[in-house]
Structure 1
């Protein structure tokens, strides 16, 4: 499993597309075995959304995400978990324990989010 978390410092960013960078975490047998920071390539022509399948991401954990992004990621069979708060480590740990599940949390309203 490869998890992507939009980040600001060590925290889950509240809006997927506006995060300055992303943490990519490889999980094997329920444990994080590697981490990689990837800069946000920008919002032009879906660059952020192309980044996920290009890196083999299977899951995204975020605070909020617009409908357009959700739709595109779902087309790539990427599982979306929104509503995450706090540190990346805590959010991923909660997800791996089954305490953080895919949910339909609306966008944070920082922009139009395709609405």
Structure 2
């Protein structure tokens, strides 16, 4: 399972679209078997963080907060979005893969243009 996590340094970012990078973790049988780091392309014409992440062919996206429009873009691409996640991105990916993390709609925030 491929899981994208919004990160600043090695910690989950407070805001999904404003992170420095997206860490993509491949999880199999309860272990991380692959890891990639992709620079956030920012909010530019033709590409946005949600569409960029959807293009990484991940099953899930984990982060702190994000706007409803961003959630919709990823969900429409078949990406499960889980918000309200903090701390270690690797542990969060493992927790998601084992069913311990669930989406919390409280963390959908209003932010212009997202």
Aligned partners of 2:94, 2:55: CA distance in 1, in Å? 24
CA offsets, 1:24-82, max 9 Å, x none? 11122332110000001111234322222322111001111111100111111100110
Larger mean Cα displacement after TM superposition, 23-32 or 13-22: 23-32
RMSD: 1.8
Structure 2 partner of 1:18: 18
CA, structure 1 residues 102+29, in 2 after alignment: closer, same or farther (shift >3 Å)?
same
Figure out how many residues of one structure are paired with residues of the other and give that number.
113
Q: Which runs of 5+ in 2 are unaligned?
A: none
CA, structure 1 residues 84+54, in 2 after alignment: closer, same or farther (shift >3 Å)?
same
Structure 2 partner of 1:35: 35
Contact 1:2 1:27 in 2 (8 A): yes
Q: After TM superposition, what 4+ stretches of structure 1 lie above 6 angstroms from structure 2?
A: none
Structure 2 partner of 1:92: 93
Structure 2 partner of 1:67: 68
Aligned partners of 1:105, 1:90: CA distance in 2, in Å? 22
TM-score (norm 1): 0.86
The 3-state SS of whatever aligns with 1:23 is strand
TM-score (norm 2): 0.86
Contact 2:64 2:107 in 1 (8 A): no
